[in-house]
Structure 1
Amino acid sequence: MKAILLGSPLSAVAVSLFMETLEKDHYSKIIDSGSKWYSYVDDCLIVTHKDTNTDVLLQKLNEVHNKIKFTTEKEIDGSLPFLNTVIMRTDESVKFKVYRKPTN
């Protein structure tokens, strides 16, 4: 039996609870203890060590559930867009600025 909640006011709550359960029970065990996992709705940011093999990490995350598939976006020149911000890594700190898509 499948429950379909599309269009229901409970859809967002059900999805959030489901993803939080996956994060707690599975994803948190896949990333190493020195990495950080941040998520907002269906967007995740994982901060890892430079020597982490992100292809292997992505493969392990995608093996958890056959309907949940992650993609990667790697930083370019120390910058990475996430949600509506650009995260800029410098030698001393991390800075943020507003991100506007090129089509905007």
Structure 2
Amino acid sequence: GRLAAFVGGTDAPLAAVAGALVSQRARLSERAVVLAESRDEVLSGLRALAAGETSPLVVKGSGADGKTVFVFPGQGSQRVGMGRELYDRYPVFARALDDAC
């Protein structure tokens, strides 16, 4: 609710608000993401979240300790084993992934 009030009362760029939320807030066990294309959608999603209502704009989940998973999204051409194949075939990709891990 407080975040909705802040977003509704400022003209700060939504990308800047989202970036701050991702990088400067504590990692809590319960999490939510509002997927929106406009300030109105952000506010709608935040208000639904604050009220405990479901919304197609809101994804909720719980954080868990465990292994890191890397997802390779694309234009529909991804397939099982793609990451392993990239790793095996391209040394630059393998080094970059090793650095990230």
**TM, length-normalised to structure 2:** 0.29
Name the one with the larger strand percent.
1
State TM-score, norm by structure 1: 0.29
Larger radius of gyration: 2
